[in-house]
Amino acid sequence: MNKLLLAACICPVYAMAQTDTLLIPTDSLKGGILSEVVVRAYEQHTNIVDAPVAISIVRSEQLSRFNNTSILPAINNMPGLRMEERSPGSFRLGIRGSSYNAPFGVRNIKTYYNGIPFTDAGGTTYLNQLGYYNIQSLEVIKEPGASLYGAGTGGVMLINSITPETWHTGGSIAYTTGSFNQQNIMGEARIGDSSFQNTLRYQHLSSDGYRQQSALRRDVISWDAVLNNNGRSLLSAHFLYSDLYYQTPGALTLAQYEQNPQQARLTANNIPGAVDNKAAIYQRSFLSGFTYQYIYNQHWQSTATAFATYTRLINPTIRNYSRVAQPNLGARKVLKYENDIGTSKLQWLLGGETQQGYSTENTYLNIAGNPGNMQQQNEVSNNILFGFTQLSWQIHKWLFTGGVSVNRYETRLQQLFPTQRAEIKRVYPVQVSPRLAILYKLNTNNAIYASVAKGYAPPATDQLVPTGSAANLSLVPTEGWNYEAGTRGYILDGRLYYDLTVFYMQLSNTIAQRRDAAGGDYYVNAGGTQQAGAEVLLHYRFIQNESLFINRFNIQASYTYNHFRYQNFIQLSEDYSGKALPGVPPHTAALGIDIATRIGLYLHLNGYYNDRIPLNDANNAYANAYTIADARLGYKWKYKRWAADIFAGGNNLLNETYSLGNDVNAAGARYYNAAPGINYYAGLAVHFN
């Protein structure tokens, strides 16, 4: 009870100490007029109140409320989103439970980086490839976005690494140090002018880790360039190189977790432990992409994108040693028409996207972290092709939107070792994914909406061909319908922003994760699932008055309810129908406070509650509920063209023992990956404009 009372005082909120949130900008309400917050979802570029979609928006100000090293805490305080970290650098992101069948990384969520498809043709998004400062803002569409963005049932994430509207020449340096020998360094140079913007950025992050065998090192170099030709055309180029190394301690049994949550997986049944086999990830990635936007006239414009990526991943695990090379390339084109017809507005989109990806996977015996004799060699290629169209019609207080995509997905597999076999080709049936949405403006600042959308997600490459496990090309795509309704807007003279959503999704052929005794992953189609829930976000501004000593005081609350159940799911002699989906908490809640003063002092108080989580399909093992609390105290200073921010803070101030990133359905009941206990940090950022 004492922890819950403390959490009520130290809780998460996205209102900024010296910069307000995206939802309520610094200059938002003057004389009762709401300034616009433009979202890009579904290419509609509209005020958030006018967007007929469940969406979460996070800006750099919200991300920097924590320790400037990870986007995880900011993501987790948004309703409907859950980000996990089994070990430093090993992220797993889910939208409305979509991550429960992902061993690591991001699956079933289509992601775009500066408009470039960031999810590869095999269905994997290497989010850990990005450094903290590569994410200046992001939008997360929480319904299936297949009608415009292609395959996926888990939603869509749109990431921006720069903000051209507020770009200016100058530079920034930042340094943060903390517990577990954490070192975080960033240097940025902004060169050019309003017509040619260049942003060069270097980032380094390292840590010894909380657990045994959990060290991390990541170096990221990026260059973003934008060439503006008198507002008629815009050419942007983005290059990113990431060198990532992190150790993987492995999951623990409940007894091991309770005895010593910091230990790595031990040797058991002649299977070496994580330390013995030096379990780790070595990942190098390169991305390059170009986008050209051209305005033909007041009605027509187009956007064309071409890109290429390459990832090399080396992974010594407790059971084998793998080398994977994954080149990927593709293009996307969107043609947009807009016109005012009388009192109505019409928008029409037509476009397509294609990707071609390859994966060469060599698997060896792991001999103390070095490759031994080869066990398997496979080559996999994936091709994605889809076209889409969308029509939006706004008349008076109504907005009607209808869109549809036609998707083709093909995968090819050839085994080269231990026995060379003929290539296997799998062409999945063409999928049609429609979406309909309707919005009604109650008044200038409030609206209600409803939508229905079909999602479609073919198996990812590492689900069809798990590294070191047998291929399973019998997996079929997951598909289903999502229904939702919501309302959002501003009331109480614009001081309170609210966003309320209810949804129901029914999926068939859901792909479920399994783990063998050695910790290897394999996947099966799990019949159907029914996923219902509700999401609430409230933001209240108590004070915004620059003349007062405490010139800003804001509070925000969020709540998520998930009722996710298997439907007609029978495995061998076990009937799991009606059981809760493992890995998904039924309740999460967040509440918090931000305070800023006229002299530059600020305080962020954050907290988060997570209900207990089922860990297997039988629902006979659970991870306990937990409440975590964070705080950050700082001072911001400005002088002419210079600005600085000095800060210090603490994470998990309640010193909870909890698992953030459970291995669901793990053999031997090894479910638990302990998160850090109480820890601290301090840092300094200096900017020249």
The whole-number pLDDT of residue 34 equals 32
CA gap 678, 210 in Å, rounded = 10
Q: What pLDDT was estimated at residue 1? A: 39
Measured in whole angstroms, how far is the alpha carbon of residue 423 from the centre of its chain? 34
Find out whether 64 and 636 touch, Cβ atoms under 8 Å: no
How far is residue 434's CA from residue 431's CA, in Å, rounded to a whole number?
10
Specify the 3-state DSSP secondary structure of 178: strand
630: β partners? 606
Structure tokens at 45: 């570029």
Identify the structural domains of the chain with CATH numbers, from first to last.
Answer: 2-688 (2.40.170.20)
Burial 201-234 (b: 16+ CB within 10 A, else e): bbbbbbbebbbbbbbbbbbbbbebbbebeeeeeb
Q: In sequence order, which residues have a C-beta less than 8 Å from that of residue 104 and are 6 or more positions away?
A: 86, 90, 91, 92
CA–CA separation, 560 and 589 (whole Å): 6
DSSP 515-534: E-TTS-EEEEE--EEEEEEE
Supply the DSSP symbol for 688. Answer: E
The pLDDT of residue 581 is 92
Which uninterrupted H or E stretch holds 258? Answer: helix 254-259
Q: How many angstroms separate the CA atoms of 444 and 34, rounded?
A: 8
Instruction: For the beta carbon of residue 348, count every other beta carbon within 10 angstroms.
Output: 16
Helix, strand, coil % (nearest 5) of the chain? 5, 60, 35
Across the chain, which has 689 residues, the per-10-residue mean pLDDT values are: 39 33 33 53 91 92 90 94 90 83 73 96 91 94 95 92 86 97 98 94 97 98 92 93 97 96 92 95 98 96 98 94 97 97 95 96 95 94 96 96 96 92 90 97 97 89 68 81 97 95 92 64 79 97 93 96 90 86 95 95 97 95 97 96 97 96 89 96 96
Exposure class string for 240-250: b at 16+ Cβ within 10 A, else e: bbbbbbbbbbb
pTM score, two decimals? 0.92
Give the tokens for residue 40. 């890009």
Overall residue count recorded for the chain in this entry = 689
Residue 667 backbone phi and psi in degrees, to 5:
-65, 145
Give the closest residue to 199 by CA, choosing from 184, 186, 208, 183.
186
- Both tokens of 63, joined, read 């991300």
Of 620, 584, 625, 591, the closest CA to residue 607 belongs to: 591
Give CA–CA dist 575/568, Å, rounded: 8
**pLDDT at site 37:** 64
Whether the CB-CB separation of 89 and 211 falls below 8 Å is answered with no
Measured distance CA(403)–CA(389) in Å, rounded: 6
* Cβ count within 10 A of residue 493: 9
Instruction: Give yes or no for a contact between 242 and 285, defined as CB atoms under 8 angstroms apart.
Output: yes
DSSP characters for 62-125? Answer: HHTTS-SS-SHHHHHTSTTEEEEESSTT-EEEEETTTTTT-SSBEES-EEEETTEE-S-TTSEE
Helix (H, G, I), strand (E, B) or coil at 60: helix
